[in-house]
Structure 1
Amino acid sequence: MHNSKRQKQSGIRRPRTKAVLYASVTLAIGLAGVSLSASPVLAQAATVYSVPAGALDTALTRFGVASGIQVLSDSGTTSRLKSPGVSGARTPNEALSALLSGTGLTYRFAGQKSVTIVNPAADVGIHTGATQLQAIVAHGERAGWGPVDGFVAKNSLTGTKTDTPLMETPQSVSVVSAEQIEAQNASSIGATLRYTAGVVGETTGAADTRYGGLLIRGFDMTGEAFYRDGLKLPGTSYGDFQALDPYGAERIEVLKGPASVLYGQNGPGGIVNYVSKRPTDTTFNEISLGAGNFDTFETQFDFSGPFSEESDWSYRLTGVGRNAKSQVDFVDDDRIFVAPALTYSPDEDTTLTILGNYQRDRAGWGLQFMPALGTVFDNDGRSIPTNRFLGEPDFDYYNTDQGSLGYMFEHKFSEDLTVRQNVRYSHLANDQAIIYGGGYLDSATGELSRWSDKGSSRLNTIAVDNQVQYEVDTGPLSHTLLGGLDYRWTRFQDISDAYTVDPINVFDPVYGSDPVFSRHSNNTVTSQNQVGLYAQDQIKIDNWSFALGGRYDWASTDLDNRLAGTEVDKSVSAFTGRAGALYTFDNGIAPYVSYSESFLPPLDVSATGALFEPERGRQWEAGVKYQPPGFDSYLTASVFELVRENAIRWDAVGGTWEPRQTGEITSRGVEIEAVASLEHNFNLRASYTYLDVEITKDPDGGNKGRWPTAVPQHTAALWADYRVESDGFLDGLGLGAGVRYVGASYGNDANSFKVPASTVVDASLSYKIEDVILSVNATNLFDKKYVASCFNETFGCFYGERRRVMAKATLRW
């Protein structure tokens, strides 16, 4: 007999009748003749707990999440009991004693990470020959991958690759839960990050039907930072996996700062980790229908559960279908997304989860390259409309298909030794034809020159991450050791052709120009192999938590330029390290300090066909984390200095885009973030970021001492929502509101002009009637017209998203 180990939606295991297992556990205790008093836990490190009084099962789940300890209990014994709760910094022994106070139960540790709740009366029954036929329920297991109850995540795997409380992770990690994504009706990765400190997820405006651009801590991380379930999804010059629909995510996590020690080749800003929805251990069904402005019609569905009551298999099927236009004329935004998943748990120690997805986007080219004159500045009292399309309706398109298939395997050889293997194959196919602005020919009349390009990308990548985790004590020190070997192979082909096209009047456009082929501009095949060997030690002693890590990377890149008939290759290697220390005071305050490094061999090539030197990054960070006792909340404040060497920037030259490698960019900043899910169904998220970013070396560009484009000095956001619970007609009414501020940014590297700051308001209204939720969301409620960013004055400005309204009806059963 065995007991399944799958994760359920609430984070609590589904009770299953496993008589032999439970009887053997209690019988072993009785035959050992050991006292039923609480046994000592192997590592007496204190953790900050915030578990309110209430149901004992819920309290044990919260304890398991906060401590990282698996709690086994008899569902028949615990299901009707209440716990007085526990708060403040406590050792596991102290916390469990407090939680079980008054219940008549005690506990026994089987190892560092496993504890069994024991009923002394039931144990007497064992001695007299009675057999206990109750279920074992596991609480708080692998919380870092699981669903978040409300807005506040307690654990994360992204920061350390082990299931570690955020309060014990000495680096900034932000978690956006599925509940927050739903509450804000976020339909893109950039939109999910609107209220996250240190991140600007829509630098090119939400009308960008590709992926919207991404800044983390002042650095452009578009195409470099996106991961799914801890495995990297690299992009090409034309296409990117970052368009993945957020409805398929259980949570979106941002690890800020260099992360190469655990994740290999990436830029210094950080990573965005898309954590996929996984099969649940209880049946869960959801379907919604929605409609909104821009002729938007959308359906979403999410079905999950075990195949049968006693099955070792469970499933999940998540999907989105959308037919829509956008705020830009002639630009569609249609999508089909489906993500099947299967989990097999033959016993308590083994789990295999198979994850797949397919996404089909059929859209126009939403990114319009506007001049600053007419967007940022008035053009003789005139402004270019935000819905203006600068292309040709019969020519422009932007079509992408992406898909992946992989698995996540875990096996525990003992309570202390665990092995994992995560594997994924991913494919991206992009075809596009675009016409975009090239600057005024006559600003007085509004006549604008245009460039045109048609191209395609085909990308394939395989990623494998092998991990061994071992937990051991050495004297007073408790260690969580992690060793890993990962491999990634990426191959893609970018093809593009340049076209000539007639000008257009931005104030009175006349369409119908037929672009004429000019020349083949690009046909390159790029292949890269990367191998990394890494190790990490998380050490706990009393109230101290330490993290030490190191990694060595080997990478080889091959570029086949089929137009020039040349082939170049480059092999590089590098060591990166990370170290951090954190101390948790008894009042819940935890100051920390850390140092981390990054390493990135670029896939981009110069205009001459040469491969660039690897980018390097290094960061010092110090901060404080706080979990107020008795409140389900999490607050962080941090300061950092982050340096990016050999940074790559993109310029438009003669109608084509060319990368160049600058010397160095330094970013210093302050981040403050607070998230709370309080009593009476009140959720809150607030953030503030201050940046001081400077181009500190630029041997060829002459921009030393200047501020990089599109990077705001100040950003701030606040969101709050509340659902009424009463006996009257207001019961089930939900209200939400948010405000987002993005400060002014420079519109070019010469810093000759600024894009003004913008403030927009979001709002939501919902009503829950039994299993049905009716909701309306509005982003940019007051329809503010603003420019999201510019990268040059001539043709490089992008409008932000105007008001978007979406009404939905959701059924859950």
Structure 2
Amino acid sequence: MLGPALLASVGLSLSSLSTSGWAQTVAADAVTLPAVSVTASAEDPAKQGKTIDAGALGSRKQVDTPFSTDVKTSEQAQDLMATTATDLYKYDAAVSESSNNRVSENSMFTVRGLPIDTLNGIKVDGQSFPSWDTDLSLEPFEQVQLLKGLSGFMYGFGSPGGIVNYVLKRPTDDPYRSVTVGYETAGVFSEKVDLGGRFGNDNRFGFRLNLVNEDGNTEEPNGHVRRQVASLALDFRITPDLTWSVDGFYQKRKTNGTLFGLMFGTGLGIPDASSINRDLTQPQNYYETEMASFGTGLDYRLSDNWHASLKYRFAKENRTNSDSLIYVYDQAGDYSNTLYAAMTRYFYQNVDAMVQGQFNTGSIKHDVVIGAGYQTQTSEYSNSEGWNEGFSLGTGNLYSSTLLSNADVNVGEDLYRQSRTTQAALYASDTVQFTSRLSALLGVRYTQYRENVYDPGATVTSQYSANPVTPTLALMFKTDPYSTVYASYVESLEQGGSASNTNLNYPATFGPLRSKQYEVGFKTDHSRWGANVALFRVDQGYNYTNTENVFVQDGTKRYTGVDAGGWLQLSSEWRVLGGVMWLDAKAVDIEDPSIEGKRIYGAPRFTATGRVEYNPSYLRPLTLAFGGKYVGNMAVDAANTQFVPAYVTYDLSGKYETRVAGKDVTLRAGINNLLNRRYWTTAWGYYVSPSPTRTAVMSATMEF
């Protein structure tokens, strides 16, 4: 295959290690990195992804954790000109895009073939945050931390795909001011402001303010995006050891010209994405989300070795969809267009208390974490025609443009409480260091889980309660101060699936699923090279739509694979990086013989990334980069009757640092999907989404 061969020639590495390792080399050369890279820059090493907040494990260096992690900083987000977490993890071989918010409702991705749980897998400062079919803007956050795999002990209920934790920007000790203007083809302009500093007696008060406005027409037919973001974080150093913090966050985003997805009828193949007409959306198609959050907390340093925290967060999401499901029913590409229009709403509240400290018992060292948490999640759905049956817009053909509309389309706002979930948890862990090289992790979480599902008449239609205990066990050995060999075992629970409004058994809801993960790995991080490799197996309960169009919960999804990569500083001018993932994902212990042994939908068998970065010695302010990503073919349905083909994309970028009127200015530019490759993505079963087209992006940032 041309894709993997070319990528192999580009270089080897996985972005999860490029962050910390590149920081050491770059700091020596005073170089920062270009757009579309998964890299780091010459800033404080504490911000370079060397540390991760691992929930109930507290804060740890990445190289000292027995799990696969990948941390990206706000500096990298700027270099990538990223607007979503999907953009940030583009060059992680374990991550595959499942949809893009320029053409679909939101940008989403899978990790090792498993989707991220958008009800439980998205966190802000370690606390659950509603992110159902929406994207958190990156500008208010200092880091985005990806924990690959199960998270039952660290974070409680959640899909084994992993956890995406957004760490808010906090007040800076030194005054910080920056203004950024950006442009994206075909006419999207953005303006961003980031201000931080301290004031008052002894600088005891701090602030961090971020404002974003983005507006304009996109490359997609009927495409337009409008996004506004405002966030403010404050803190008060009550004493040298006690700090009180408070923050507020608001985001509103509306995209015109969106599709829910395409579904191809039984027995139909999926055509080449480049052969179909791009103009499949209609003027009535749009998607809008509005999010607001408030958080506060106390952080207390009890002593040099002990630390305590208490925090609370409230978050709300309003979601309005008016987008289409296109059902293709014959080989000629004829389809019916059904527009689903409704509002949904989500409310989350979290309270968490944690104590972390160290002590010795003889020659054995202990790093312990003890904590408790309580959270509620409430979902409100619309009881309307637009949500339950949808509005027929008419018929069309994939290979031609057809204008469709329906004057009866309206957004149903008659909301009712659809579900309420509560979780109360107690957890404790002890990382026992036997010698300077050998340590073990023992962790356990006890959860009281309650879930009620209601009909529009407020009658409980299903109810589930459980009191699970989810353990974590790991053994770690330091081969040197910068390297760790580990073996870990994790259990987790996730909320059961629900039938969609296209299934015959809608609105059936199932109880929680248990998952287990076994992982053996090695990670190392040196000044001029780094590498990691993880061998893993995940067993997860299976939700799927069977051949009778009934949503069922049956059997096990088994994911077995290798996630590996490395980076190498060839010289002061050249660096290569990349990564590979091989995955065997199949259904086991399934009663339906048409599903047993088949590949899991939305899971590629092989992915590869590669990237070359060039920073010429004769022009140090300039950095150029070229990279690519190969994603193997994926099954669309549980019975494996349909597949989307493999694809490869390439990106080109550049970055130039200079001074204008005595101020630091950084110019960035890049072309994503350089060859304008059209491809399909899939993740949820039976649905596919078209890819975005080639896009040019550019920005200028002034710090003053």
What interval of TM-score do these two structures reach, taking the shorter chain for normalisation? Answer: 0.7 to 0.9
Match for 1:688 among 580, 585, 590? 580
In the superposition, the TM-score normalised over structure 2's length comes to 0.85
**Deviation larger for 421-430 or 715-724:** 715-724
Q: Tell me whether 1:626 sits opposite 2:524 in the alignment.
A: yes
Matches within 5 A, 1:730-809: 730-770=619-659, 771-789=664-682, 796-809=687-700
1:191 match: secondary structure: helix
- Give yes or no for contact 1:206–1:800 (8 Å, CA) kept in 2: no
- Give yes or no for contact 1:358–1:404 (8 Å, CA) kept in 2: yes
Against the structure 1 CA distance between its residues 51 and 500, is the aligned structure 2 distance closer, same or farther, given a 3 Å change threshold?
Answer: closer
Match for 2:600 among 708, 730, 733? 708
Aligned to 2:10: none
Aligned to 1:389: 280
Q: Give 1:411 deviation, angstroms.
A: 0.3
- Give yes or no for contact 2:103–2:690 (8 Å, CA) kept in 1: no
Q: Tell me whether 1:642 sits opposite 2:538 in the alignment.
A: yes
Match for 1:583 among 477, 488, 511? 477
Q: What amino acid maps onto 2:84 in structure 1? A: S
Match for 2:258 among 347, 366, 379? 366
2:275 match: secondary structure: coil
Q: Tell me whether 1:439 sits opposite 2:318 in the alignment.
A: no
Aligned to 1:417: 306
- Give yes or no for contact 2:487–2:519 (8 Å, CA) kept in 1: yes
Aligned to 2:60: 164
Matches within 5 A, 1:82-97: none
Against the structure 1 CA distance between its residues 189 and 509, is the aligned structure 2 distance closer, same or farther, given a 3 Å change threshold?
Answer: same
Aligned to 1:473: 360
Aligned to 2:38: none
Against the structure 1 CA distance between its residues 546 and 528, is the aligned structure 2 distance closer, same or farther, given a 3 Å change threshold?
Answer: same
Against the structure 1 CA distance between its residues 642 and 55, is the aligned structure 2 distance closer, same or farther, given a 3 Å change threshold?
Answer: closer
Aligned to 1:196: 92
Matches within 5 A, 1:317-328: 317-328=209-220
Matches within 5 A, 1:539-688: 539-540=432-433, 541-562=435-456, 567-586=461-480, 588-602=482-496, 604=498, 607=505, 609-628=507-526, 631=527, 633-645=529-541, 647-649=542-544, 659-674=551-566, 680=572, 685-688=577-580
Against the structure 1 CA distance between its residues 679 and 303, is the aligned structure 2 distance closer, same or farther, given a 3 Å change threshold?
Answer: farther
Q: Give 1:308 deviation, angstroms.
A: 5.1
Q: Give 1:368 deviation, angstroms.
A: 5.4
Of structures 1 and 2, the larger Rg is shown by: 1
Q: Give 1:711 deviation, angstroms.
A: 1.0
For 2:25 and 2:533, how far apart are their aligned partners in 1?
Answer: 29
Q: Give 1:301 deviation, angstroms.
A: 1.7
Structure number with greater CO (CA < 8 Å, separation at least 6) is 2
For 1:257 and 1:585, how far apart are their aligned partners in 2?
Answer: 24
For 1:334 and 1:304, how far apart are their aligned partners in 2?
Answer: 26
- Give yes or no for contact 1:197–1:716 (8 Å, CA) kept in 2: yes
Aligned to 1:537: 430
For 1:417 and 1:583, how far apart are their aligned partners in 2?
Answer: 25
Q: Tell me whether 1:261 sits opposite 2:153 in the alignment.
A: yes
Q: Tell me whether 1:334 sits opposite 2:226 in the alignment.
A: yes
Q: Give 1:487 deviation, angstroms.
A: 0.6
Aligned to 1:278: 170
For 2:92 and 2:685, how far apart are their aligned partners in 1?
Answer: 27
For 1:660 and 1:172, how far apart are their aligned partners in 2?
Answer: 31
- Give yes or no for contact 2:128–2:348 (8 Å, CA) kept in 1: no
1:262 match: secondary structure: helix
Q: Give 1:635 deviation, angstroms.
A: 2.1
- Give yes or no for contact 2:230–2:251 (8 Å, CA) kept in 1: yes
Q: State the aligned residue count.
A: 655
Match for 1:211 among 75, 86, 106? 106
Aligned to 2:245: 353
Q: Deviations over 1:516-550 (max 9, x none)?
A: 47999995521111101100001223211221100
Aligned to 1:155: 51
Q: What amino acid maps onto 2:531 in structure 1? A: L
Q: Give 1:160 deviation, angstroms.
A: 5.6
Which ranges of structure 2 fall in alignment gaps of 5 or more residues? 1-19, 31-41
1:310 match: secondary structure: helix
- Give yes or no for contact 1:214–1:222 (8 Å, CA) kept in 2: no
Q: What amino acid maps onto 2:326 in structure 1? A: G
- Give yes or no for contact 1:428–1:459 (8 Å, CA) kept in 2: yes
Q: Give 1:680 deviation, angstroms.
A: 4.8
Q: Tell me whether 1:175 sits opposite 2:71 in the alignment.
A: yes
For 1:217 and 1:505, how far apart are their aligned partners in 2?
Answer: 35
In the superposition, the TM-score normalised over structure 1's length comes to 0.75
Match for 1:398 among 287, 291, 297? 287
For 1:303 and 1:257, how far apart are their aligned partners in 2?
Answer: 35
What fraction of aligned residue pairs are identical, expressed as a percent?
23
For 1:370 and 1:601, how far apart are their aligned partners in 2?
Answer: 26
- Give yes or no for contact 2:497–2:511 (8 Å, CA) kept in 1: no
For 1:618 and 1:502, how far apart are their aligned partners in 2?
Answer: 46
For 2:404 and 2:656, how far apart are their aligned partners in 1?
Answer: 48
For 1:623 and 1:293, how far apart are their aligned partners in 2?
Answer: 42
Q: Give 1:365 deviation, angstroms.
A: 4.9
Q: Deviations over 1:725-781 (max 9, x none)?
A: 65xxx3422212221111111232222343221111112122211211122121111
Against the structure 1 CA distance between its residues 490 and 676, is the aligned structure 2 distance closer, same or farther, given a 3 Å change threshold?
Answer: farther
Which ranges of structure 1 fall in alignment gaps of 5 or more residues? 1-47, 59-145
Against the structure 1 CA distance between its residues 422 and 684, is the aligned structure 2 distance closer, same or farther, given a 3 Å change threshold?
Answer: farther
- Give yes or no for contact 1:685–1:719 (8 Å, CA) kept in 2: yes
Q: What amino acid maps onto 1:484 in structure 2? A: G
Q: Give 1:560 deviation, angstroms.
A: 1.6
For 2:548 and 2:407, how far apart are their aligned partners in 1?
Answer: 19
Against the structure 1 CA distance between its residues 754 and 512, is the aligned structure 2 distance closer, same or farther, given a 3 Å change threshold?
Answer: closer
Q: Deviations over 1:213-241 (max 9, x none)?
A: 32122222241421111111245xxx44x
In proportion to residue count, which structure has more strand?
2
Q: Give 1:205 deviation, angstroms.
A: 3.9
Q: Deviations over 1:488-524 (max 9, x none)?
A: 1111111124223311233333324315479999955
For 1:564 and 1:698, how far apart are their aligned partners in 2?
Answer: 35
Against the structure 1 CA distance between its residues 601 and 755, is the aligned structure 2 distance closer, same or farther, given a 3 Å change threshold?
Answer: closer
2:682 match: secondary structure: strand
For 1:226 and 1:684, how far apart are their aligned partners in 2?
Answer: 31
For 2:344 and 2:565, how far apart are their aligned partners in 1?
Answer: 38
Q: Give 1:416 deviation, angstroms.
A: 2.3
Q: Give 1:212 deviation, angstroms.
A: 2.3
**Deviation larger for 682-691 or 326-335:** 682-691
For 1:161 and 1:709, how far apart are their aligned partners in 2?
Answer: 33
Q: Deviations over 1:548-606 (max 9, x none)?
A: 10011111112220169554432112010001111112374421111011012337468
2:609 match: secondary structure: strand
Against the structure 1 CA distance between its residues 364 and 302, is the aligned structure 2 distance closer, same or farther, given a 3 Å change threshold?
Answer: same
- Give yes or no for contact 1:148–1:177 (8 Å, CA) kept in 2: no
- Give yes or no for contact 1:709–1:791 (8 Å, CA) kept in 2: yes
Against the structure 1 CA distance between its residues 678 and 368, is the aligned structure 2 distance closer, same or farther, given a 3 Å change threshold?
Answer: same
Aligned to 1:102: none
Q: Give 1:689 deviation, angstroms.
A: 1.0
